[in-house]
Structure 1
Amino acid sequence: MARVYLDHNATTPLRREARAAMVAAMDLVGNPSSVHAEGRAAKAVMERARSQLAEALGAQAADIVFVSGATEAAALALAGRGLHGAGIEHDAVRAWVEEDLEVDGLGRVAVSDPAASTLQLANSETGIVQDLPEGLAVSDWTQGFGKIPVAFDWSGVDMAFVSAHKIGGPKGIGALILRRGLDVEARIRGGGQEMGRRSGTENLIGIAGFGAAAQAATQDLESGVWDRVAKLRNILEKTLDHSARDTIFVGKDGARLPNTSLMITPGWKGETQVMQMDLAGFAVSAGSACSSGKVKASSVLRAMGYSETEASCALRVSLGPETTEAEVLSFAEAWAAAHERFARRGR
């Protein structure tokens, strides 16, 4: 049977719009920093993509800095600032913050000093969405952007960052968004590209794909695609709940991304589930894909109060715009069969 991809929070398939924009950019010979006609043509493509991204983010084009991805953007925004953060943040954020903000059992974070803190918009593992306080210093929008409505200029956030490959764009390109009048010190110095904030010849092909993907993602959001995906996620959880009453669906009673389901089945290792589902033709995850291929107990779940044993038994299913009900039900059937084998071994 054809394989079914249900790991969209790790990365997404390249959108046709992004592919077309990238192919067109490949034919441009100019450097965006050159003043001749070829250089100006390349710069026009880059600035069009910047405008597309700005419109999708509800931001101003001049406040967007293109970088190699969300990890670099996090470093550019956070390094040396000593901000407060929580254990549910992505490792790219946790590397730069004081990990002292409290997380409750529903995955919500209490922020007492927004100007000295960072808080993600949505969690990549649980899908739990946070209420961002006014005046927040930095926010990771990598998972929320494209799935839920965002408007940077109205958010009250000083800085946010996003990544192209989470919305159907190419890998290796991301962006940092700055509040008007705010600046950052360049960590990569040289030719002064990106308004002096990030030197190095811009990744024109990646940027073109990013802009096109952002525009297409916005159209999906406005057309109700993610409402349909949320219904599929609910069908999945209802079906699995009938098969395994002991399974916990993390964050089910709160605000979540429409595509994300993180389930804990006590005693059944998440790594084992991933391998069994992979053999059955389904790509799913035991959590974040940013640990060099290692499968370990989720630090996110540990921060939420789950035990080490419980956290090691988590499985994440993350749907995409193209996911069908037939694929969801097919996965549910395969998972239920594997769960029955697991339950029989335990009796």
Structure 2
Amino acid sequence: MNDIYFDHAATTPMLKEVIKAMEPFYNQSFANPASSHLSGQKAAAALEDARELVAELVGAQKAEEIVFTAGGTEADNLAIKGVAMALSKKGKHIITSKIEHHAVLKSCEYLEKHLGFDISYLNVDQNGLVDIEELKNEIREDTILISIMLANNEIGTIQPIKELAAVASQNDILFHTDAVQAAGQLKIEIDDLGVDLLSLSAHKFNGPKGIGALFVRRGVELIPQISGGSQERKRRAGTANLAAAVGMGKAAEIAVKNLEKKRKKLISLRDYFIIQLQDSFNNLKINGPESDSRLPANINVSFRELDAESILFNLSLSNIAAATGSACASGSLSVSHVLKAINLEDEYLKGAIRFSLGKGNTREEIDFVIDKLKEIINRLNSLK
């Protein structure tokens, strides 16, 4: 069997339509969108067309509320640091959760260490869900921002963002959500969610790497985190990555068009995979919530008293790609902060593997992986 790629949460393959849309902007319509000549104006028009498509992906009413960035990490940094610096005179308290992506956690850590902010980290239950009552209890007079991710990158937990954002709104607090994993898998409507800022990354929904976006609701104050020119309506300096923005726009357009069909396929494959795993192994635990509250593409499992790195190494020998959790944390020998936060039992902590599904995956591939896993797990168990 050909290579099997079950690591779409880390990155996805670019669609042919996306590559085709990008090509002219490398050597034909390559002008700087900030230039005033005709070629620059054409480039600027293409950039704004891409912005419109990204706005449609999240249901934003105005394309100008979309700020292009170099990816989801920059979008998170711009949202958290940008708002914090803009509103520091109003207050220096931020609320987030213990299972956020490191782009959020490290941004909060930076504000705490260098600018004197106070950060409250919400607990989560065994399924990774934030408790609304705890959020209400953590709110203070000086709270200026709440940041809770829409869907978790490791265990797939979908948070009740609409309810959480309503609490923020009732207390006149801005709300940011990291929707990097959710885009392309879940229908996102900004006004329904009620959020003020939302982060995206193109390469998570079959677009190019190196391009992302931040939705910034009109009227939200934000201090730019990159100094220079007045690009992106003075919110993000630097010459626009035009080809990548066009690619993101095309990927967003396709994601909107195919969302329901893709979602149903992924849910069917995910549930089939989980059933096969449960039927095949008695030393296995499914990490995260039930199907209704889990991302369609996410399966996170732990094998009791086994080492995930050993399992992944053996899977890779059969050309099977999976992950231990967040790609941004790969290479780190520390136990996942997400699994710690859900209080996963010690015997399961080091044996956690994330399989994430996407375009082109099939039941036949799942069956092949299950067979290989049986061989690997049996061999590793025999060595204990």
Q: TM bucket by the smaller chain?
A: over 0.9
| Bigger Cα displacement from structure 2, 269-278 vs 106-115 | 106-115
Whether contact under 8 Å (1:186, 1:197) holds in the other structure is yes
Partner of 2:310: 272
Identify the range of structure 1 (322-331 vs 91-100) with the bigger mean alpha-carbon deviation. 91-100
Alpha-carbon distance in structure 1 between the residues aligned to 2:160 and 2:289: 17
Q: Is the 8 A contact 1:241 1:247 kept in 2?
A: yes
**In the alignment, structure 1 residue 122 sits paired with structure 2 residue 151:** yes
Aligned match of 1:35: 36
Give 1:51's aligned residue.
52
Match for residue 243 of structure 1?
Answer: 280
Using the TM superposition, name which of 249-258 and 168-177 deviates more. 249-258
1:302 and 2:340 matched = yes
Question: What do residues 128-185 of structure 1 show as CA deviations (whole Å, max 9, x unaligned)?
Answer: 1000122351110000011011111221111011001100111111101011221311
Corresponding letter in the other structure for 1:88: I
* Partner Cα distance (1:241, 1:119) in 2: 31
Of Structure 1 and Structure 2, the greater helix share is in 2
What displacement does 1:84 show? 1.2
The alpha-carbon distance between structure 1 residues 83 and 309, as it changes in their structure 2 partners (threshold 3 A), is farther
Say whether the 8 Å CA contact 1:89–1:120 is kept in structure 2: yes
1:55-99 deviation digits (Å, cap 9, x = unpaired): 111012110000111111111111172411111100000113325
Pick aligned residue for 2:180 from 133, 142, 146: 142
What SS is found at the alignment partner of 1:162?
strand
**Contact conserved, 2:339 with 2:349, CA < 8 A, in 1?**
yes
Aligned ranges 1:307-318 → 2 under 5 Å: 307=345, 309-318=347-356
Q: Are residues 1:284 and 2:322 paired?
A: yes
The TM-score, its normalising length taken from structure 1, stands at: 0.95
Give the share of equivalent positions with the same residue, in percent: 35
Q: For residues 308 and 249 of structure 1, what CA distance do their matches in structure 2 show?
A: 14
* Unmatched runs of 5 consecutive residues or more in structure 2: 85-92, 109-118
For 1:51 and 1:101, locate their aligned partners in 2 and report how far apart those are by CA, in whole Å. Answer: 35
1:4 corresponds to = 4
Matches within 5 A, 1:136-175: 137-175=175-213
C-alpha spacing 1:262/1:292, structure 2 compared with 1 (3 Å): closer
Within 1, Cα distance between the matches of 2:49 and 2:127?
40
Q: How do 1:217-236 residues align onto structure 2 when only pairs under 5 Å count?
A: 217-222=255-260, 224-236=261-273
- How many residue pairs end up in the alignment? 345
Deviations 1:243-271 (A, max 9, x none): 11221111242510011000011111111
Unpaired runs of at least 5, structure 1: none
Any idea what SS the aligned residue of 1:50 has? helix
Partner of 1:100: 121
The reply to whether residue 213 of structure 1 matches residue 251 of structure 2 is: yes
What's the offset of the Cα at 1:29?
2.9
Equivalent-residue separation in structure 1 for 2:334 and 2:34 (angstroms): 44
**1:277 maps to amino acid:** L
- Distance in structure 1 (CA, Å) of the matches to 2:305 and 2:330: 25
Could you say what secondary structure the match of 2:338 adopts?
Answer: helix
Query: 1:310 Cα deviation (Å)?
Result: 2.5
Give the one of 52, 62, 65 matched to 1:63. 65
Structure 1 segment 246-257 matched on structure 2, within 5 A? 246-253=283-290, 255-257=293-295
The ranges of structure 1 where at least 4 consecutive aligned residues each deviate by more than 4 angstroms after the TM superposition are none
- Is the 1:66–1:176 contact (alpha carbons within 8 Å) kept by the matching residues of 2? yes
Q: For each residue in 1:207-246, what CA deviation from the matched residue of structure 2 results, as whole angstroms up to 9, or x when unmatched?
A: 0110001111112213x22211111111111111111122
CA shift, 1:321, in A, is: 2.5
Instruction: Confirm or deny: 8 A CA contact 2:128 2:289 kept in the other structure.
Output: no
- Note the aligned Cα RMSD (angstroms): 1.6
Matches of 2:70 and 2:312, distance apart in 1: 29
**For 1:301-320, what per-residue CA distance to the aligned partner results, in whole angstroms no more than 9, with x for missing partners?**
10111245522210000000
Residue 107 of structure 2 aligns to a residue whose secondary structure is: coil
CA distance in 1, matches of 2:258, 2:289: 24
> Which letter does structure 2 place at the counterpart of 1:72?
E
Report the equivalent of 1:87.
98
Counterpart of 2:88?
Answer: none
Structure 2-normalised TM-score?
Answer: 0.86
Q: Which of 66, 71, 74 matches 1:72?
A: 74
